[in-house]
Amino acid sequence: MWFVIIGTDIPDSLEKRKAARPAHVARLQQLLDEGRLLVAGPFPAIESDDPGPAGFTGSLILAEFASQADAEAWARLDPYMDAGVYASVSVKPFIKALPRA
């Protein structure tokens, strides 16, 4: 099943984000390589493709896992969690209705 993982950043997370990003992206790339990643990306703090020092307020990951417990376990091990980027993470089941594959 698909799951939405939403991480909410701590205030002023940009430097921690930059430091942990390579490891974070590597885990996402693994999901992509396995055909389990639908979409992933950050929420910019301002309306801009490059928010600069304004940074980001969080991230969204939409990926396939066998269960909610598996999705939650995967999210807990995210490098952004270890680096203190995320203040909180939520995981919710998701049904992809459109576009139809």
Residue type, 93: P
pLDDT over threshold 80, residue 101: no
Q: Could you say which of 3.40.50.2300, 3.30.70.1060, 3.20.20.70, 3.90.1150.10 is the CATH number of the domain covering 2-47+54-94?
A: 3.30.70.1060
Taking alpha carbons only, the member of 61, 38, 56, 36 closest to residue 46 is 56
Predicted pLDDT at 100 = 86
Q: pTM here?
A: 0.94
Question: Is the CB of residue 80 less than 8 Å from the CB of residue 23?
Answer: no
- Condensed to tens digits (0 to 9), the pLDDT of residues 33-79 reads 999 999 999 999 999 999 999 999 999 999 999 999 999 999 999 99
Give the dihedral sign, CA 14/16/21/27.
Answer: negative
Question: Is the CB of residue 63 less than 8 Å from the CB of residue 38?
Answer: yes
